[in-house]
């Protein structure tokens, strides 16, 4: 006979138990700022054969963004569309409002898969950020070759990462990058990032989601 319910399932943020708010590494002004991007709504879209144009039109109509056909990210206040391979994208929304309906309406045009709980993302900035990323990222992230809006799929310390550059921090003027990894890699990625960034001094903002 089946037991009574023995497990209570509670939602858990992707950085819960990994990231803690505060400072670590070298003292003084932080060279790197790290912010957890928990609670994003993320879906992967793979255009169906011959449906690229229809998918682009549907997204333009629904969220006002053009599908990027090169490794780029395009953003509005509530949504991002980031290139994730040929005929593939990630649709990212900051809240759940209307997200399920949007995915349902896109389903006839694309293979749609909700990845909200499958990815872990960080927002990174600070004057020393590129120095830290250079320890593991083989790409040239210099502004002349990786401008605002650029995106890339690559690997860092043998982990697949999806990274892109968003608008510069309006206060400091520093470049701002976001890095997304498979959620199962969050702990390992943090192990690499925290070790690589410590010498520059880091300030961490976790969301506190359990």
Partner 1 sequence: MRITCPHCGARDVQEFTYLGDANPQRPEGMATTEAAMHDYVYQRDNPAGRHRELWYHGAGCHAWLVVTRDTRTHAIEAVDTANAIAKGDAA
- Smallest gap from Cβ 47 to partner 1, in A, equals 13
Closer by beta carbon to partner 1, 141 or else 206 = 141
26 C-beta neighbours (distance < 10 Å), count: 16
- Smallest gap from Cβ 83 to partner 1, in A, equals 9
Hey, which residues between 186 and 205 contact partner 1 (CB under 8 A)? none
Hey, which residues between 135 and 174 contact partner 1 (CB under 8 A)? 138, 152-155, 160
Hey, which residues between 41 and 100 contact partner 1 (CB under 8 A)? 71, 85-86
Closer by beta carbon to partner 1, 88 or else 94 = 88
Closer by beta carbon to partner 1, 143 or else 160 = 160
- Smallest gap from Cβ 195 to partner 1, in A, equals 20
Take residue 169 and report the two structure tokens written for it: 């921090």
Interior angle at CA 33, CA 130 and CA 116, nearest 5: 95
- The number of C-alpha atoms within 13 Å of 81 and in the hemisphere containing its C-beta is 21
Closer by beta carbon to partner 1, 9 or else 158 = 158
Take residue 79 and report the two structure tokens written for it: 């949504």
Provide long-range contacts, Cβ within 8 A and 24+ apart, for 150-155.
150/71, 150/72, 150/73, 151/68, 151/71, 151/72, 151/73, 151/82, 151/83, 152/71, 153/71, 153/84, 153/85
- Smallest gap from Cβ 73 to partner 1, in A, equals 15
Q: How many residues bind partner 1 (CB under 8 A)?
A: 9
Radius of gyration of the chain (CA): 18
- Smallest gap from Cβ 93 to partner 1, in A, equals 23
Closer by beta carbon to partner 1, 75 or else 88 = 88
DSSP letters along 10-29, please? ----TTTTT--SEEESSSSS
Q: What mask, x for binding partner 1 by CB under 8 A, covers residues 93 to 132?
A: ----------------------------------------
Take residue 48 and report the two structure tokens written for it: 């169906």
- Smallest gap from Cβ 129 to partner 1, in A, equals 21
Closer by beta carbon to partner 1, 2 or else 138 = 138
Q: What is the distance between the alpha carbons of residues 201 and 30, in angstroms, rounded to a whole number?
A: 5
**CB contact set of 159 (below 8 Å; sequence gap of 6+):** 181, 182, 185, 188, 189, 192
Positions that interact with partner 1 (CB under 8 A): 71, 85-86, 138, 152-155, 160
């Amino acid at each position: 006979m089946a037991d009574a319910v023995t497990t209570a399932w509670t939602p858990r943020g992707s950085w819960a138990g990994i990231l803690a708010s505060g400072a670590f590494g070298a003292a003084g002004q932080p060279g790197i700022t790290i912010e957890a991007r928990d609670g994003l709504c993320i879906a992967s879209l793979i255009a169906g054969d011959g449906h690229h144009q229809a998918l682009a039109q549907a997204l333009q109509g629904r969220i006002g963004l053009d599908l990027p056909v090169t490794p780029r990210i395009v953003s509005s206040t509530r949504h991002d569309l980031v290139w994730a391979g040929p005929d593939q994208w990630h649709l990212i929304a900051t809240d759940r409002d209307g997200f399920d309906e949007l995915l349902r309406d896109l389903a006839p045009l694309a293979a749609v898969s909700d990845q909200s709980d499958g990815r872990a993302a960080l927002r990174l900035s600070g004057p020393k950020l590129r120095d830290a990323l250079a320890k593991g990222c083989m790409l040239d992230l210099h502004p002349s070759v990786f401008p605002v809006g650029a995106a890339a799929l690559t690997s860092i310390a043998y982990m697949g990462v999806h990274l892109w550059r968003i608008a510069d921090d309006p206060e400091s003027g520093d470049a701002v990058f976001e890095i997304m990894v498979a959620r199962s890699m969050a702990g390992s990625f943090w192990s690499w990032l925290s070790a690589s960034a410590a010498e520059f001094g880091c300030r961490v903002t976790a969301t506190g989601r359990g």
